[in-house]
Amino acid sequence: MTIKTSNLGFPRLGRKREWKKLIESYWSQKIDLDTLHTELANLHKENLLLQKNYHLDSVPVGDFSLYDHILDTSLLFNIIPKRFQGRDVNDDLLFDIARGNKEHVASALIKWFNTNYHYIVPEWDDVTPQLNHNVLLERYNFAKSLNVNAHPVIVGPITFVKLSKGGDQSFDEKVRTLLPLYKEVFNALIDSGASYIQVDEPVLVTDESQSLEAITKEAYDYFESEGVAKSLIIQTYFERVDLAFLNTLPVKGYGLDFVHDHGHNLAQIEKGLLNKEKTLHAGIIDGRNVWASDIEAKKALIETLSQYTEELYIQPSSSLLHVPVSLDDETLDDAVRDGLSFATEKLDELDALKRLFNEDDDTKFEAFKTSYDRFQNQSFKNLEYDFDSVRTARASAFSVRREKQDAKLQLPELPTTTIGSFPQSKEVRKQRADWKNKRITDEAYETFLKNEISRWIDIQEEIGLDVFVHGEFERNDMVEFFGEKLQGFLVTKYGWVQSYGSRAVKPPIIYGDVKWTEPLTVKETVYTQSLTDKPVKGMLTGPVTILNWSFERVDVPRETVQNQIALAINEEVLALEANDIKVIQVDEPALREGLPLHSEFHETYLENAVKSFKLATSSVKDETQIHTHMCYSQFGQIIHAIHDLDADVISIETSRSHGDLIKDFEDITYDLGIGLGVYDIHSPRIPTEAEITTAINRGLQQIDRSLFWVNPDCGLKTRKEEEVIDALNVLVSSVKKLRQG
């Protein structure tokens, strides 16, 4: 059998975030739309040719986007939010839906399954589905013009509708409405020469898949009746799928994840559940992590799979959107570099395996095997830990702690605060870069930070907030910052991945056992507190989020690494408390994100998450107030675990969910402090007093007024200074009026 190679998707960002910089230049009116399109086309061309150079038999198109592939699909099928209807369907409309504008709020932003990517939620209220400009066909033809053998990629109708919200139609009716439009898109691509079309249906790996089987079968039977099904590959990823059901669908083949499926997909195939006549697209290279493959194990997997199908493609387990582009620009210790594989290196691993099987050429294969073996023999682990000596529960109940904290902090009703970060201005970023590159001295950089902190303390005083923050000007990212300071982490120079829109993060890599070796945040926090009589929050990132937003180790259980991080954060919490910091926030925005896709794993995951958070925060005195923060909605499944964290105050993003979260509190008596974010910081628009007052009153329907805090929905680092000041002034003004009755 000839082994073929393909890819599911490639990072949009570019090796040095060229994509992000171009889009933000357009937003800031530094370049016009024609320039944006020309430069993005050049970047897309570079991505396509790079993949071709790794001898892929088929390169994806449709993965490239101006913002988000789900939003692209919404515009393709005219699923446009009611408040944005009546305009031309173009790039400016796309950006306004994603970011909001002066008149209208943006659409909701939600995590893409259990990854750190976010998609724009399609809204079905009063829509008239129709086919707009076929950007997918345009991009396929662009690849053809470059002599790139490409396959189009589109999110499938079942997944698209499942990720949507609103509208009066039933789920099945929405799907049926879209089917003729999908058929029209498929026909145009087939007529243009597409040998197959990758239809992404990751929703079929979730707990809900069984309830979707009837409409899924109906949809793909429709495509068969219309003569397009034999060109479709149903692509799944992130978990296992019911292969017996997939075999009932009249399509060309299936894409399965053999990395994150807990072994179930392979077990089903070995039971003979794969129709041999179907093409198998086997996701054997981890598309979500940066570790090099055990290439010998991948060889054995290919040998097994080739017995059960007549046509086998090998590929990453998911789109490579979730990993950085290349190791080429990194300066790393060889001991660690041997174990790493970014997007281009993963394509090279596929090429090595393809050469081995098709040409009996083991040169690349042996080189990868040698590097992998070298890395495995390094000693980055086996440190000693004393988990039992650290408390995993607060000394007193919340009712007791609350009295002591109220006496100490003397806060007014409906206390106001922010989530932690203030704008990372161009000057802040320049000073940090100059310091890192040794263009300015440590003393000069520290003076700059102190001046910036002092300036923002004055701003917070003038606005009238009740609990202050220092602004996090010394931090590039809420996880990377800790990765730079904790033992066992590696921070890259260009290891960027897309989080949402033009927002990119650079996850640290956990390569060994984690340890706290020195204070991480004490100096800046203590200095800030010296400038004001108002309480200043110590700002830390929690162990679950640090793990979920890092590239994790795969050689030890997740809970082991998570608890190592928790011990490190506990050391920092106690160091802040010892320096008389009265309020300490340990953020866990990624706790919900990491929830496994199958409910059978939920209880264990949540128990481990709660234990780690308590390990990090429970050793403080009753008087010390512990805050946490979560964002990106969909908390219903974990509301009880949120309560079990026993944080004195939790702030939760709710603004983009337009109050949907309030429903989650209807089946729980939430008797801890809570702040439901009252305006959307991801949008440049300034909220009105009426909007904020409505948001507060909506929250007070379910939350005791004496427990209610008022805050933005997330950190403010991405906003402009004037936007932040104007929005916070509106927030405080609204609260003052509510306090007066």
Which residue ranges make up the annotated binding site? 20, 116, 419-421, 472, 549, 587, 629, 631, 640, 644, 653, 714
Task: Look up residue 130 and give its DSSP letter.
Answer: -
Establish whether 151 is a catalytic residue: no
User: And the tokens for 457?
Assistant: 């303390």
CA nearest to 202, candidates 167, 163, 228? 163
Report CA 295 to chain centroid distance, whole Å: 28
CA nearest to 719, candidates 494, 537, 471? 471
Could you tell me the CA-to-CA distances from 211 to 113, 162, 208, 256 in Å, in that order? Answer: 18, 12, 6, 20
Annotated binding site for 5-methyltetrahydropteroyltri-L-glutamate: 20, 116, 549
What is the sign of the dihedral through the CA atoms of 642, 321, 12 and 61? negative
Q: Is there a contact between 643 and 696 (Cβ–Cβ < 8 Å)? A: no
**DSSP H helices in 146-230:** 157-162, 171-191, 213-225
User: And the tokens for 648?
Assistant: 């004195």
* Cα 228 from Cα 222, distance rounded (Å): 9
SS3 513: strand
Cβ neighbours around 401 below 10 Å, total:
22
Task: Please report the DSSP string for 650-682 in residue order.
Answer: EEE--GGGTTGGGGGGTTS---SEEEE--S-TT
Residue 595's contacts (CB-CB under 8 Å, 6 or more residues apart) are 114, 602, 605, 606, 637, 638
Task: Look up residue 6 and give its DSSP letter.
Answer: B
* Cα 674 from Cα 681, distance rounded (Å): 18
Paired sense of beta strands 59-61 and 150-155, if any: parallel
- Please pick, among 44, 260, 470, 682, the residue that the annotation labels catalytic: 682
User: What residues are annotated to the active site?
Assistant: 682
